[in-house]
């Protein structure tokens, strides 16, 4: 399945989660086996090109794509969650929201010193969450091999938050 065919499956949902926002619903990509397979192929191809030791998948839809990639690439996947959702000792990073801040966390043993990690999520919008995960990686003296996204909302310029990090997306709006 070609990227333009995958893009056509994404549904616009006006005024969700609040008035004025047009939400990009990716659930049709999950219910279409050919689309999901093509997405996993893209992620696996890009992962192989960047060489990594593991995957840091961002809550929650990033878990879906990260798990598929981990299985396909034979790499471990580690969960990146909001504060208080992981059961063992964690490290955390704060990131800015439209109004206020939030935190992401990962288990302390998820990021090895000197390791190379892929940051995987379904969507890059403002880039704040991925940037916070990149700071977690750097704080453990490890490297971000690349940031991989299924969908990019380019009008929100999230890529700029990632600085010199490699960021790739399959489809762009």
> What does the block give as tokens for 34?
């050919």
* 88 labelled catalytic: no
Q: Is 98 a catalytic residue?
A: yes
Q: Give strand pairing partners of 94.
A: 103
Q: What tokens does 110 get?
A: 């998820």
Catalytic residue among 71, 81, 98, 161: 98
Q: Between vectors from CA 128 to CA 151 and to CA 11, what angle results, nearest 5°? A: 25
**8 A C-beta contact, residue 28 and residue 9:** yes
CA distance 149 to 123: 6
Q: How far apart are CA 56 and CA 111, in angstroms?
A: 9
The C-alpha atoms of residue 122 and residue 25 are separated, in whole angstroms, by 11
Catalytic residue among 46, 61, 81, 161: 61
Residues taking part in catalysis: 61, 98
């Amino acid at each position: 399945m070609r990227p333009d065919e995958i893009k056509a499956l994404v549904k616009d949902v006006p005024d969700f989660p609040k008035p004025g926002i047009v939400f990009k619903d990716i659930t049709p990509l999950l219910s279409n086996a050919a689309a999901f397979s093509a997405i996993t192929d893209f992620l696996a191809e890009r992962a192989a090109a960047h060489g990594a030791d593991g995957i840091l998948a961002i809550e929650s839809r990033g878990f879906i794509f990260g798990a598929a990639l981990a299985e396909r690439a034979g790499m471990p996947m580690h969960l990146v969650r909001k504060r208080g959702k992981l059961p063992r000792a964690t490290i955390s990073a704060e990131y800015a929201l439209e109004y206020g801040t939030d935190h992401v966390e990962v288990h302390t043993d998820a990021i090895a010193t000197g390791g190379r990690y892929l940051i995987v999520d379904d969507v890059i919008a403002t880039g704040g969450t991925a940037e916070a995960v990149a700071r977690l990686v750097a704080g453990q003296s490890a490297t971000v091999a690349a940031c991989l996204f299924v969908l990019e909302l380019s009008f929100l310029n999230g890529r700029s938050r990632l600085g010199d990090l490699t960021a790739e997306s399959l489809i762009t709006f």
